[in-house]
Amino acid sequence: MTVSPKKRKSCRKRQAALGAALFALFQAACAAVFAALCLIPDLPGWVFWLFAALSAGCVLPILPALVVLKERFEEIEGGESDAAAEY
């Protein structure tokens, strides 16, 4: 059974979006855990700043992931994967 190119592109876009969404979800969960650790009472100042930096560090990779997702959509639309599969 042959899958139409339109359905194939749609499936690849959905998979790419799902991967980026799961990555963002896991990074946000990690950031939430570190942010919650900042709220521990009587925490030394340096530990508070460490957890705050780790929390911010978990959120930062989400923006580049969205840029990569946009590039992946462009690759899918351009048919680069299909052209590479012919070799």
pLDDT in tens, 33-55: 999 999 999 999 999 999 999 99
Look at residue 27 in the predicted model and tell me its pLDDT.
Answer: 97
Tens of pLDDT, residue by residue over 12-37, are 999 999 999 999 999 999 999 999 99
Please, are residues 72 and 40 in contact by the beta-carbon 8 Å criterion? no
Please, are residues 84 and 24 in contact by the beta-carbon 8 Å criterion? no
pLDDT at 79 over 90: no
pLDDT at 86 over 70: no
Measured CA to CA in angstroms, residue 11 lies from 4, 18, 28, 75, 84 at distances of 11, 10, 26, 14, 17
Positive or negative: CA dihedral 37, 43, 46, 47: negative
Helix axes 5-37 and 45-59, enclosed angle (nearest 10) = 170
